Structure 1
Amino acid sequence: MQKKISIFEIKKYLDKKGFIVKKKKKIRTEESEIGNLSRTFLSSLIIISIFFIAPLAINLTKEKMIFSKDYENNSKNNLKRLLENGTTKLDEKLNKKFLYEDILTFDEQPSDAILLSAATIEELFKSTNYDLEDVRKNKLVKPISLDLLPKEIVKIENTKKRKDLFIQIILPLVIDENNSIKLDRMKLFSILNKSKNTKAEQEWLNVKFKQYGVVNKDLSTLKIRMDEVPVSMAIAQAAKETGWGTSRFAQEGNALFGQWTWSGEGIKPADAEDDSTHKVMRFKVLQASVKAYHRNLNTHSSYKGFRSVRAELRDEGKKLDSMILSEYLDKYAETGKEYVKILQQIIRQNNLTDFDDAKLLPSSIDLESLI
């Protein structure tokens, strides 16, 4: 039986890959010793001055508090500030254990996942008329959700056949997660349009604030983070991170996006250094990996540029362009801009943007009017 992952044990769950904070060392010099004596003298003067300056400081603090309150209530200025600054380190530090709690719960649920062979999956797609060319033309995707990748996908020598099978498996999962976010956005917009909210709505908001790491419970921040990821971009990243479903991480741990963990659970990369503690996060089902990927892009400070540009596209009434948004994924991998070029190449060569406006049958028809 696989050991369950405690949310409190995963302190650095799904952090940016390779992100390490190094503290600067303090260097003592002769000049610094002299500086210390000077600072001691100055400190004495400061202590004496406090008694004279304190009343003025208190008044200034009061004025600052009033200004800050007015600033937070100014929605336009606040939105502009959020788009410019994005996520703060404080947001992540205080809320990391809550960000993925619902995803861990989802992944820990009893699963009746069945490992189907590639031939069986292909027959299933054929019998339900689930064909990628038809999807490109009619923009409708069959609601077929598979929990595991077939082992035989590694042995499929025909590149196009292997890629098509991988896309057919991943496509419904990505659209389904986007649909869940769409429904949440619909509810959020409904709440924003009300002058007074019910207790149930307030409780729902509190849950979403935790899930999206919004420390100050700012609705504008939540609106920016609670949004979709372009389907073509998600598929391209999954293809890049798994070698179109053939990697050991994808096969052994349903890890579609190469996300890292520092807990005891996960798969250690074969080329990792001996003293390295990170592992690639494993999941019981593919959908959990997709959920974690969306949450990662929607909350981590490394992708604040991605979220800012996405919000700007929304404000301008434009589609979420994966070629534009992928430019802001340079921190997803150590290769930086080269990683972005590869993603864009995968999107272009495989015409993945054809799937950006595809709908998942039958429920997604009701969601066409959403932004």
Structure 2
Amino acid sequence: MMHLHFLPQPPVQWAAGQRLMLSLWGRALLRASVRGWQGLLTMLGIVLMIASSMGSAAQAARLDDELVAKDSTQQMPDLRVFPAGTKRKVAFFELMIPLIVAENQRLAEQRDWLLAMRKRAGDGGRDYSEREQERLNGLCDQANLPCDVTREDIGVSWNRLLLRIDTLPLDMVLVQAIEESGWGTSGHARNANNLFGMRCFSHGCGIGAAGREYRRFENLETGMAAYFSNLNSQRSYAKLRELRGRLRNAGQPVRSEDLIPTLSAYSTRGNAYFVTLYDLLRWNRGLMRTVRERLAANGALS
């Protein structure tokens, strides 16, 4: 179960502007204690300013509540309450990074288990229990491979299965989500938990124009898992998986810059799409790193 945790919040969840006003109020109160009636009148003016800010900040306060929610699943909040720019980017990264990290952790655990099972098989320990067979079959289904697991064999090559149970670079996932969802503000992001522009082609399967509808997901977690499954299992992204596998086998890091050129099936824009993703990486990588480090320091990525 994944929980989203963000920066420590006060017991009452205030919007960012209101928290700033409360800080100023505290300072004014201290000054008022030594300035008599004039100071108290100043403090009263600040109280009125805070009161007047409550209504205009209501949407932002509700978004704060959504972002710090500790439910096991998340719905897409409306990030348009933040002005375009750094504030919206930070809110987007605070929402997305824990989701991506959680999915990568899930895949890494699955991969470690498969590697241990492959080693055991190589050592002659192929007597798979019913529970192991069930899990192997489930991972084959996840990888979209036609396995036929028995007590003695998994029915497919280990290498082929391991190519499809693997992680993706965090920053590559982020820049694709940025581009495909307009920083989380597109209709299919807000109304269908679909941040990666994934489509479906049967009438009524999602939202949008008939025949080219965007898939609808119950929550952000299922949308994220579908994106990873798409790249990890569909034939269109075989080159991505092969390159990632070669890098793994060579003990080299799997970098976004290496994998982006294998995403030609994701967009009809060709090289222009790659250039856009590279630009988004260059412009936002520093902020991505800053937000991730802050989330990790506050226990949001455990």
- Counterpart check, 1:237 vs 2:176: yes
Structure 2, unmatched stretches of 5+, are 1-57, 148-155
CA contact (8 A) 2:98 2:301 kept: no
Equivalent of residue 161 in structure 2, options 204, 222, 235: 222
1:120/1:318 CA distance change after superposition, 3 Å? farther
Which one of the candidate residues 171, 180, 203 is aligned to 2:106?
A: 180
For the 8 Å contact 1:232–1:355, the answer to whether it is kept is: no
1:296 aligned residue: 230
For 2:205, the equivalent position in structure 1 comes to 265
TM-aligned CA deviation for residue 155 of structure 1: 3.9
Q: Distance in 2 between matches of 1:155 and 1:362?
A: 26
Identify the residue that residue 138 of structure 2 maps to in structure 1: 207
* Structure 1 pair 150–357 and aligned structure 2 pair: CA distance change class (3 A): closer
- Residue 267 of structure 2 is matched in structure 1 by 333
Contact 1:310-1:325 within 8 A present in 2 as well? yes
For 2:206, what is the secondary structure of its paired residue?
coil
SS of residue in 1 equivalent to 2:278: helix
Q: Alignment partner for residue 289 of structure 2, among 327, 341, 354?
A: 354
TM-score under structure 1 normalisation? 0.56
- Taking structure 1 as reference, are residues 144 and 179 closer, same or farther at Cα in structure 2, changes over 3 Å only? farther
Q: Distance in 2 between matches of 1:310 and 1:230?
A: 10
236, 256, 262: which one aligns with 1:322: 256
> Which residue identity does 2:206 align to in structure 1?
G
1:150 matched to which residue of 2? 77
Q: Distance in 2 between matches of 1:327 and 1:144?
A: 36
Asked if structure 1 preserves the Cα contact closer than 8 Å seen for 2:93 and 2:291, the reply is no
Using structure 2 for the length normalisation, give the TM-score: 0.68
Measure the CA separation in 2 of the matches of 1:118 and 1:236: 25
Residue type at the aligned position of 1:251:
R
- Following the alignment from structure 2 to structure 1, what is the Cα–Cα distance between the partners of residues 131 and 160? 20
Q: Looking at both structures, which has the greater relative contact order when contacts are Cα pairs under 8 Å and sequence separation is at least 6?
A: 1
Q: Identity of counterpart residues, as a percentage?
A: 29
What code does the residue aligned with 2:279 have? Q
How much does 1:357 deviate? 8.7
In the aligned structure 2, how far is the partner of 1:161 from the partner of 1:356? 12
Amino acid aligned to 1:325: L
The structural deviation recorded for 1:199 is 2.7
Q: For residues 67-118 of structure 1, what are the alpha-carbon distances to aligned partners after superposition, in whole Å with 9 as ceiling and x for unaligned? A: xxxxxxxxxxxxxxxxxxxxxxxxxxxxxxxxxxxxxxxxxxxxxxxxx954
CA RMSD of aligned residues (A): 2.8
- Structure 1 residues 357 and 316 mapped into 2: Cα distance closer, same or farther (>3 Å)? farther
Which residue of the other structure, out of 111, 119, 133, is the alignment partner of 2:61?
A: 119
Contact 2:90 2:291 in 1 (8 A): no
Higher mean C-alpha displacement, 287-296 vs 208-217: 208-217
The alpha-carbon distance between structure 1 residues 150 and 183, as it changes in their structure 2 partners (threshold 3 A), is: same
Kindly tell me the number of residue pairs found equivalent between the two proteins. Answer: 228
CA distance in 2, matches of 1:193, 1:349: 42
Q: Which runs of 5+ in 1 are unaligned?
A: 1-115, 129-142, 270-275, 366-371
SS in 2 for 1:324: helix
CA contact (8 A) 1:145 1:173 kept: no
**Structure 1 residue 149, shift from structure 2 partner:** 2.4
Q: Sort the Cα spacing of 1:357 and 1:166 in 2 relative to 1 into closer, same or farther, 3 A.
A: closer
